[in-house]
Amino acid sequence: MRAWPSIDMNTLEQELERRRARHLYRERLVLDSPPGVEIRLGDETLLSFCSNDYLALANDPRIIAAFQAGAERFGVGAGASHLVSGHSRAHHALEEELAEFVGTERTLLFSTGYMANLGIVGALADRRDLIFEDRLNHASLIDAARLARAEVRRYPHADVTQLAKLLARAEKPRLITTDAVFSMDGDFAPLVDLHRMASKYGARLLVDDAHGIGVLGKNGRGTLEHLGLSIAPPVIFMGTLGKAFGVFGAFVAGEAALIETLIQRARTYIYTTALPPAVAEAVRASLRIVREENWRRERLQALVAQFRAGAGQLGLNLAPSLTPIQPVVLGGAEAALRASRHLRACGILVPAIRPPTVPEGAARLRITFSAAHEPAHLERLLQGLAGLATA
């Protein structure tokens, strides 16, 4: 990614023009409806295949009612950080319920997954430490290592052989960090091997399961459950609450000593206002639904299988993903933009994903599924994709 050379107005305008010329300029969409399968953008009604609301809970009336009741009881803001006066009974109850759900001693709430990752790494590592990270890690994990000023060694995506070589030469490995489900490709990290290597070399394994929690595993506990692993040392688990759970926030799960250390040392926990308690109440309602309504995960699995079969017949370049994240890799940024515009003309919203979010030459349509999608919606998507060759 090109560095910005200065901050005077002319230079900023020139840099923005260069981004436009390279088809990398980003624009926001202004929605006039709640998130869902069908959304409103001004005068358009579009079929959406780009949300991370995997279980279709973001507009669930039960969760909305819990949010409203929470606001009536606790107000609309926390008023302070958790360590001053902002830690409410709603926060405390949610942390206890999340710990029971994922099977750990304790959990700790953060405002976002980004803030959680920065807090974990900053609390556990500094310039004297070594951090090993997958080259396709989420930006929050990359930035966390940078801000900790630790020595960073990156290994090729999911390449456990290369990681083993790096660890064998390392004097004092501190952390191995990885997405569990990679957000742009939808594939799994080799967590069983990473767990083994972390144990062998005395490192902690930070697993960001933003796109697995709620979606994967028999009980929705995420990628670790799906792979038969528990959340116990060396694992440090981070899950988000704004994707499959449909609300907002994030949490870290682990042993009691880890959570107490984060309370004492994680700057992104200590120096920020707590989540509104009403949000915590909404997540508690969402958690009950995630635990009880397995049909949502089953619907997602069926949709993914149906899509991959149909896309295969069209000859589309799919990544090897078994999750609701189904990227269609198109190569150049212009090609991805053209494909996105074609689908929008068909009444379907799938924005183009371009560098630096993905590597150069790997621009794509990042298609995602929701438990609210119906087979008829999927057929309409496949029809739209079938027209890409002539778009």
Residues catalogued as catalytic: 183, 211, 243
Identity of residue 39: I
Closest CA to 63 of 246, 244, 243: 246
- What is the Cα–Cα distance from 12 to 32, expressed in whole angstroms? 31
- What is the Cα–Cα distance from 12 to 8, expressed in whole angstroms? 6
C-alpha to C-alpha distances, 42 to 29, 30, 53, 347, 351, nearest whole angstrom: 10, 8, 21, 13, 17
- What is the Cα–Cα distance from 155 to 137, expressed in whole angstroms? 10
The two tokens of residue 258 are 């880890």
- What is the Cα–Cα distance from 305 to 51, expressed in whole angstroms? 19
Closest CA to 128 of 146, 144, 150: 150
Closest CA to 389 of 327, 307, 328: 328
- What is the Cα–Cα distance from 387 to 291, expressed in whole angstroms? 40
The two tokens of residue 23 are 């088809």
Beta-strand pair 363-368/348-349: unpaired
Residue 57 CB contacts under 8 Å (≥ 6 apart), including other chains:
63, 244, 245, 246, 247, 286, 289, 290
The two tokens of residue 22 are 């390279």
Residue identified by tokens 């991959």 is 308
